Chain A
Amino acid sequence: MRFLDFRQGGRARFVALVGVLSLVAVACETGDAQDVLSPAGEFARAPDRLWNLTFGIAVVVFVLVEGILVFTLFRYRFRPDRKASQFHGNTKVEILLTAIPALILAGIAVPTVSTIFDLAEPREGALQIKVIGHQFWWEYQYLDEGFVTANELHIPTNTPVELTVEGGLNDRVTGEAQVIHSFWAPRLAGKQDLIPGHANQLFIEADDPGIYFGQCTEFCGLGHAEMRLRVYAESESDFEQWVSDQKSAPEAPSGGSLAERGQKLFAEGQFREGLNCAACHAVEATPEDVAPNQGPNLAHFAARDTFAGAILKNTEENLKAWIADPASVKPGARMPALGLTESEIDAVVAYLKTLE
C-alpha cells in the first residue's frame, strides 16, 4: 500500500558476500537507490576511495589468516602417531606478527586522516541550505534564496552544497519532541547527525541530474523507518527555474470552485480543538516564512512527487487517506486527524492540487 516509484530494475549487480571460510555466496540483486558503493558525487567518492583501499587489504588479510587457520586445522589434525610439539612461543615470530598489522594499519591511517581533513575544508561558492529534522520529516531552508520546502531537496549538479543540519524543536501543537535525526543520501555523502542545539556541516554534490534517495539513520521514534528523503539534482538552468517557481506566490483558486472551498477550510476551518491546516502549514514560501514551521511548508506542494517524509506518492487518493487519519498511514505521524468529513477532505485535496 505504499506507492513508491523507485527506479525499478536499476542495473543488476553482483555483490560478493564475505561468507564463512570462503568468499562465495554470490547473490544477484536489483536496486541501488541507496547503494553506498555507487557514489555519485565527490563527497561520496572520497570515502569510497578509502573504502576500496581498506576493503582490498581486509580481503587479502582475511584470505591469508583464514587460509593459515584452515591449513593448520588440516595439517595438524589428530593422528594416532602424531606427537604435539611442546613449544611455548617464538619471540621473533611474535614481534613480526605484531609489527606487520601495525604497519598495514599505519598505511590505512595516513589517507584516512588526510581525507577527514579534506572533507572538513570549507568549499567556496557552495549553495547554503539549512536542514532541520522533525518527527518525521525534513525541513529545507534555502538561506540565500529565502524560501522553505520539505522532504524533497533540490540542488544544482556539479556544485558543492553546504547543508547546515540541526535537530528539530519542541512543539506543543503537534507534540513533536526534540530528538536527533541523521541526514543520509548515501550516493551523495556520508551521514551527518542533526542534533538539537548543535549545528553541523555536511557537504553534498551530485555529478549528474537524477533523483538520489536517502533516509533518516538515527533512531528517532515510531516514524523512524518512514522518515525518508530525496535529493533532486538538476542542471543549472532547471534548478534556477525551480528556484524561481518556489519564490512565486501560488495562484488563488478560481471563485466558486471546490478548490476555493478547500482553501477556506484550510485556512479558516474550525476542526478538532479549533484547529485547521494553516495552524501548522504555511502555503507561501516567502522570505518571511523562513522561520521554522510546525508542519511542512506546503508552498508549491502540487509540484512535489511525494509527501509525508517522502514515503507517499503525491496522489489524490493518498492525500485523502492521509488527511483522514495520518497516524494510520504512518505510525507516529504528528499531524492530528482533525475529523474532516469526506467532502471537506475532497475540497482540501482539490485546493492542495492547485498549489503548483
Chain B
Amino acid sequence: MATAAYSPRRGFFTRPRSTTGKWSWFFTVDHKKIGIMYCVTAFIFFIVGGLEALAIRSQLAQPNGEILNAEAYNQFFTMHGLTMIFLVVMPMGVGLMNYLVPLLIGARDVAFPRLNAFSYWVFLFGGIFLYSSFFLGGAPDGGWFGYAPLNETLPGHGMTFYALGLQILGVASLAGAVNFIITIINMRAPGMTLLRMPVFVWMTLVTAFLLLFAMPIIAVALFELMFDRAFQATFFDPTQGGDPLLWQHLFWLFGHPEVYIMILPAMGIVSDVLPTFSGKPIFGYNAIVFAGAAIGFMGWGVWAHHMFTTGLGPVANSAFALSTMFIAVPTGVKIFNWIGTMWGGSLRFTTPMLFSIGFIAMFIIGGLSGVTHSIAPHDAQQQDTYYVVAHFHYVLFGGAIFGLFSGFYYWWPKAFGKLLSEKLGKVHFWLMFLGFNLTFGPFHVLGLNGMPRRIYTYVEGMGWDFMNLLSTIGAFVIALSALVFIANVVITRRRGEEAGADPWDARTLEWSTTSPPPEYNFEEIPIVRHRDDFWHRKYIETPEGEPARVLAGGAVATHEHEAGHGIHMPSPSYFPIVAATGLPLLGYGVIYFNSTGKALLVLGALVTMMGLFGWVLEPGAEERV
C-alpha cells in the first residue's frame, strides 16, 4: 500500500510497479537482487574462463600439443585473463559488496540504487560485447596486458574489442565505486562509526577508492589505443614519435592497484569469516584496517616492478624494488592478525572457514613468491615465465577465489534462507585445494626451469613435460570441484536445510534480520553500540571475562503482518538498463566505422541519452501494487 509523501504524477516516464516475478529482475534497484545477479553472471563467466583454461592446459599437457593452434591459443589465453579479472573476480567481489554493504552498515539500500542497477547492466553488456568478438572475426589476442605496439598491429578487430570492451566495463566499475564510497560514508546506521564497521566494509571502501583512481588511468590508455586502432592516431607508434613504454606505464599504473582491487574484498571476507568460526573478535582490528588502507596507498607506488626488464635504469629499478618489498609488510600484518584471530579460539571447521584458512595458507605462498619478484636482478629471470604465472594464481585464485567461495558459503544462507550442504562443501574445498596446488605448484618449477608464458607450444627435451602434465591433471580436478559446487547449489535449492536468521552464531548486523532479508533489510534501523554489535546483543561478558548468552538476545523481529509498513523504498526503474544498452552499440559503432557503424553510433548515443532523460524525468516513486 504505502502512501508516499508526495503524490506521483503519472506521465510519459513511469516506473515499474512490480517487485516480484521474473521481469522485476530487469528493472530492480534492490541491492540484494543486483548483488545476486552480479554473482550469478560472474559465476557463469567463471565457468567460461575455466573452460578456456582447460583448453589451454590441454594444449600444453604435452610438448607439441595439437589441440589449439597458435591463433586460437592466443585468443584463449587473452580471454582467459580478461574474463577472470574483469568478468569474474572483480564482479564477484562487487556482487558481494552489493549484497552485503547495506546490510553490514545497517542501511536499507545503497546511496544511488538506480546507478547500482546501471553498473550491473553495463557490466553484463560489456562482458557480452567482449565475448561477441569470438563470433565477429576473432577475440582479442594480444594478452590482457595488451602491450603496445603489438596491440595496434594485430590484425582483425580483436584488440579493438579489447579497447572498447574494457572501456565499457570500466564505466560499470566507476559508477559502482562512487556508489559504494557514498553509501559507506553517508548511510551507516546510527552509532556505526568508521572504526566499528566490519572489515569487509572497510576493504570495500579502500577498493572503491582504488577503482575511482585506477579506472580513469586505464580509460585514458584505452581511448588512446582506440584512436590509434580505429582512427589512425599514433600515441604508441614509435615510427611517428609515439612511445610504446607510455602504454606500459599507464597500464601498470592501473594494473597494479587492480591487483589490490581484486584481493582486498577477499581479505575483507576472510576477516569477517574467521572471527565467527573462531568464536572470538578479530585480532588487531585497527591494524588490519590500517594495513588494508596502507596497501591501498602503497599499491600506487609499485607499478614499475612489472617493467624491470624494460630498461628503466638502476635508480628506478631500485626504487620500485624497495617499494615492492615493503608492501609485503602490511600484507604480513594481515596474515599474522588472521592467525592471531584463530589463536586461542574454538575453531569450527565449516566450509566457509576451510576456504578462509585455504586463503591464508595459499596467500602466504603467493606473498612469498611476490617478495622474490622484488629482487629486480633476479626478476629479470622470472619475468614472463611460468614462475610469475604461479605467483599471481596463488594470490588471485588461492587468494581471491578461495576468499570469494568462503563468502559464498558463509552468506548463502543469508541470501537464500538455506544452508549449502556442508558435506558437499567440504568435498568442494578439498578437491579445489588439491587441484589448485596440483595445477599451479608445478608452475614455480616450470618457470625456474625456463618456460616462458604465452607460448602455445614447446618442444620435448626441455625438462618441462612432466610438470606440464601434472598441471593439466590439476586443472581438471579444479573443474571437478566446480561441478561439486554446482551440484551443491542445485541440491540445496531442492532440499536444503532451513538456515534461520543466524545459522553460524555470527557477529555482524546482517544476521540480525531474516534470511533472506526483506526488501527493506531491517524493520527498524539498528542503533549500533559496539563493533560486532549483533554479537554483543547475544552475549554479555561475565565477571570472569567470558561470554554468556543473553536470554532471547539478538532475537529477530518478524512483524510480518505489518511488514514494510511506512518504509519508503526506491521504486524499480526501466531506465538503468536502457541507458546501459546504448554503450555496446557505441562500441560496435567504433569497431565498424562505416555507414552502418556511424548509424550505430547515433543509435547508441540516442538510446543512452533517452535512458538518462527517463532516469531524470521519471517520478520519484510509483504506487505499489
Contact = CB atoms under 8 A, between A and B. Distances in A.
A6 B441 contact: no
A35 B465 CA distance: 14
A50 B344 contact: no
Interface string A39-50: 000001011101
A34 B455 CA distance: 15
Contacts of A196: 149, 238-239, 244
19 contacts: A18-B444, A20-B433, A20-B437, A25-B441, A27-B442, A27-B466, A33-B450, A65-B335, A78-B346, A86-B547, A101-B328, A112-B374, A116-B377, A178-B237, A191-B384, A195-B244, A195-B311, A213-B450, A222-B71
Contacts of A44: 381
Contacts of B374: 108, 112
A109 B70 contact: no
Given A88-B285, A94-B284, A195 B245 contact: yes
A65 B364 contact: yes
Given A50-B375, A190-B377, A117 B238 contact: no
A66 B311 contact: no
Interface string B216-243: 0000000000000000000001110001
Interface stretch (A55-63, A247-255, A256-264, A336-344): A55-63
A125 interface: no
B360 A69 contact: yes
Nearest to A121: B314
Nearest to A88: B281
B245 A198 contact: yes
Nearest to B390: A18
B575 interface: no
Contact of B344 (A65, A87, A105, A226): A87
A97 B4 CA distance: 56
Q: How large is the interface on B (under 10, 10 to 19, 20 to 34, 35 or more residues)?
A: 35 or more
B280 interface: yes
A285 B614 CA distance: 71
Contact of B70 (A21, A30, A112, A331): A331
Contact of B361 (A35, A66, A117): A66
Given A19-B437, A69-B360, A225-B455, A101 B365 contact: no
Contact of B449 (A19, A35, A88): A35
Query: Looking at chain B's contact residues, is the secondary structure mostly helix, strand, loop, or mixed?
Result: helix
A166 to B, nearest CB: 10
B311 A201 contact: yes
Interface string B456-467: 111101111111
A303 to B, nearest CB: 23
Given A31-B462, A62-B364, A195-B245, A108 B150 contact: no
Contacts of A65: 335, 339, 364
A192 interface: yes
Given A54-B371, A101-B329, A218-B147, A224 B339 contact: no
A190 B380 contact: yes
Contacts of A86: 280-281, 541, 545-547
B567 interface: no
A223 interface: yes
A184 interface: yes
Contacts of A77: 346-347, 349
Interface string A1-23: 11010111010000101111100
Contact of B445 (A17, A102, A180): A17
Interface string B465-487: 11100100000000000000000
Interface string B380-417: 11111100000000000000000000000000000000
Interface in A84-108: 84-90, 93-94, 97-98, 101-102, 105, 108
A170 interface: yes
B454 A93 contact: no
A331 B345 contact: no
Given A8-B461, A29-B466, A54-B372, A222 B317 contact: no
Interface in A192-212: 192-193, 195-198, 200-201
Nearest to A330: B70
B441 A93 contact: no
A271 B245 CA distance: 40
A148 B494 CA distance: 72
Contacts of A98: 287, 329, 332-333
A68 B339 CA distance: 8
Nearest to A39: B381
A177 interface: yes
Interface in B404-440: 433-434, 437
A213 B458 CA distance: 13
B325 A108 contact: yes
A217 interface: yes
Given A15-B445, A36-B448, A184-B452, 18 more contacts: A18-B365, A33-B463, A35-B448, A37-B448, A51-B372, A66-B361, A101-B332, A105-B371, A116-B377, A119-B377, A167-B244, A177-B153, A179-B153, A191-B383, A195-B245, A218-B147, A221-B150, A225-B457
A32 interface: yes
B377 to A, nearest CB: 4
A179 B452 CA distance: 18
A47 B321 contact: no
Q: Which 10 pairs of residues, A with B, have the shortest CB-CB distance?
A: A190-B380, A34-B450, A31-B463, A197-B238, A177-B153, A84-B279, A225-B455, A200-B311, A331-B70, A47-B377
B371 A108 contact: yes
B150 A177 contact: yes
B117 interface: no
B133 interface: no
B185 interface: no
B381 A15 contact: no
A198 B312 CA distance: 10
Given A18-B441, A89-B284, A116-B317, A178 B238 contact: yes
A69 B365 CA distance: 13
A219 interface: yes
A347 interface: no
Contacts of B180: none
Nearest to A83: B546
A195 B321 contact: no
Interface in A152-200: 167, 170, 177-180, 182, 184, 186, 189-193, 195-198, 200
Contacts of A19: 437, 441
B333 A97 contact: yes
Given A2-B64, A46-B377, A72-B343, A33 B328 contact: no
A315 interface: no
A13 to B, nearest CB: 8
Contacts of B345: 76, 84-85
B70 A29 contact: no
B455 A224 contact: yes
A15 B462 CA distance: 14
A69 B361 CA distance: 8
A115 interface: yes
